[in-house]
Each structure stands twice: as structure tokens, then as C-alpha cells.
Amino acid sequence: MTLIGQVKIILVEPAGERNIGSIARVMRNMGLSDLVIVKPRCDYLSEDAQVMAVHGVEVLQKAVIVDSLPMALEGCQRAIATTARTRGIPTILETPRQALPWLIEKNVTSALIFGPEDRGLSNQELSYAQRFVCIKANPEYPSLNLAQAVGICAYELYQNLNDLNISDNSDNEMNANIEELEGYYQHLESVLLDVNYLYPHTAAVKMEKLRRIINRTNLKSQELAMIRGILRQIQWAIKDR
């Protein structure tokens, strides 16, 4: 598998069969093969989809279908989400050229997440990513077709592959994967509720803000384990008191 082959393309609730077929085709064009679809709202293997895929039919046939975004992100250490607009929670938006090279590194499985055609990704779905991409377009008509957005990002990934100075991860320290981070966020929320930093009616909003801050740090697995050890000690001290 090439380095670019370690990048998953994740589609959340896509509704267009032809869009999915076109995405499979451009993935094949740009050396991507790992397509994951969360709750498809159409027949992704329909005749229309396969006609649009042309020689990317194999990508369609090997696509993994899952019921949730966390399931799609299993095994990933890095994730970038795409969004066409700013949100209520402060979000740093980057161009594909700025952000996407970060997904390509030895021994790292990464994901690039795209939302449904009709609504894009929700704030909850965005919270699983560490960085965010916005494709700049004509402000009079900035909305891109889903397959076009995937095509632009796939092209940038492919063009960057040979230009990058790829780290060899010689220190053998792996980034914490998405599942480890989710376990940490649940643990953190529990502790912060216990010490009354969070309250049930505001916990969700504050945790989204904390996720954005922590996700930018690219914690290693060993670092995350140390932090969770601190949380366990806090819990023990509270219980003992």
C-alpha cells in the first residue's frame, strides 16, 4: 500500500448514486482505494453508480458500510473534516493545499470526512476531526457538488505525495487514534462534571470547545495514557475526600 492509500475517504449519509460513482472514479484516478460510507441514503452499487465509476467500480465494490462516524474512524490517528461555512464554535478553516499533506505519513492511518449533499457535517460530526478544510470558491456561488469536492481534495493529496518530506516516525511514538481520544473525552467529561467545572445543561457545548483545543495538539498514545492517569488520580482523590 502506498502512503496515499492509507487515507480513508469517508462519506456521511450520501444521497446521490452518481455522486458516489464519480467519487469512486476519482479515487482510482488519484491512487485512493479506501472508501467508507456512513448510512448511505441510496444504492451505492446501483447501475448508475457503476456507470459513473467506470474503472473505479472496484473501489465501490470494496466500500465499507458502517452505521456511525466513530465506526468509520476506527483505527485512524488523524482526521480532517470538510465544511463550507464557519460555525458558532471558533473553527480554523484551511485550504486543501494547506491541510491535506498532514494526512500523509508513514505508519499513520488518516481520514478525510465529507458530509451529506444537503446539509454538510453537523457540529457533532465535525468534533471528531482535528483539522478543517474549506474549499474557497466564487462567493456568489460557493457550493460545490460532493463529487467535485472529493475530486479537488484527492488531487491535492496525490500532488503532494511526492513533494513531502515524510517522517519515518523513528521515535516509534504513534499518535493517539480516534477511539482512544473518544474514550479520553468521555473520561474527561465525567471528571469535569464531578468537580463542577461542567454542568449537565452546558456540558455538550463546553466539551465541543475543549475537543477543538485538544485535537489541535495531536496527542501521542503515551501522552494520552499519562493524562488519563492524572484523571484517574483526581477521581480517586475526590472519592477519598
State the distance between the two ends of the chain, measured CA to CA, in whole angstroms. Answer: 53
Would 171 be classed as within a structural domain?
A: no
Statement: residue 147 has pLDDT above 60: yes
> In angstroms, rounded to a whole number, what is the distance separating the alpha carbons of residues 157 and 8?
12
How far is it, in rounded angstroms, from Cα 99 to Cα 76? 17
In-domain check, residue 155 = yes
Among 161, 189, 209, where does a domain finish?
A: 161
Q: How far apart are CA 214 and CA 166, in angstroms?
A: 24
Least confident residue range of 44-48, 125-129, 144-148, 236-240? 236-240
Domain range spanning residue 195? 178-240
- Beta-bridge partner residues of 220: 175
- Give the pLDDT of residue 21: 96
| Rounded-to-5 percentages of helix, strand, coil across the chain | 45, 10, 40
Cell 496527542 sits on residue: 219
Could you tell me if 187 and 134 lie in one domain? Answer: no
- Name the nearest CA neighbour of 79 among 103, 48, 108: 103
Strand pairing report for 131-133 and 78-82: parallel
Choose the final residue of a domain: 161, 187, 208: 161
Which of 50-59, 138-147, 202-211 is modeled with the greatest confidence?
Answer: 50-59
What integer is the mean pLDDT of 169-182?
Answer: 72
Local confidence band at 170 (pLDDT 50, 70, 90 cut-offs)? very low
Domain stops at, among 161, 192, 217: 161
Q: How far apart are CA 43 and CA 143, in angstroms?
A: 24
CATH number at residue 78: 3.40.1280.10
| 232 in the same domain as 124 | no
Give the three-state DSSP class for 65.
Answer: strand
- For residue 222, give the 3-state DSSP assignment: helix
Q: Read off the pLDDT band of 164 (50, 70, 90).
A: low
pLDDT, residue 168, reads 45
Q: In what order do the strands lie in the sheet with 64-66?
A: 64-66, 35-38, 7-12, 110-114, 78-82, 131-133, 93-94
**Residues 156 and 207 placed together within one structural domain of the fold:** no
Do 190 and 107 share a structural domain?
no
**Is there a single domain that holds both residue 129 and residue 196?**
no
Place 87 in a pLDDT band, splitting at 50, 70 and 90. Answer: low
Asked if residue 221 and residue 122 are part of one domain, the reply reads no
Whether residues 195 and 101 share a domain: the answer is no
Closest CA to 15 of 42, 35, 44: 42
203 within domain boundaries: yes
Length of the chain: 241
Contact status, residue 78 vs residue 110, Cβ threshold 8 Å: yes
> Is the same domain home to 144 and 189?
no
Is there a single domain that holds both residue 54 and residue 118?
yes
Q: Per the domain annotation, does 207 fall within a domain?
A: yes
Q: Is 39 a member of any domain?
A: yes
The DSSP secondary-structure symbol of 175 reads B
User: Looking at the structure, do residues 43 and 71 belong to the same domain, yes or no?
Assistant: yes
CATH code of 188's domain = 1.10.8.590
pLDDT at 88: 64
Burial of 155 (0-12, 13-18, 19+ CB in 10 A): middle
Q: Domain for residue 148, yes or no?
A: yes
Cell numbers describing residue 120: 454538510
Looking at residues 33-39, what average pLDDT do you find? 95
Check whether residue 128 and residue 182 sit in a common domain.
no
One-letter identity of residue 226: M
- Looking at the structure, do residues 154 and 186 belong to the same domain, yes or no? no
Supply the pLDDT for residue 165.
Answer: 47
Q: How many domains does the chain have?
A: 2
Residue 135 lies in a domain: yes
Query: Predicted confidence band at 86 (pLDDT cuts at 50, 70, 90)?
Result: low
Q: Does residue 169 belong to any structural domain of this protein? A: no
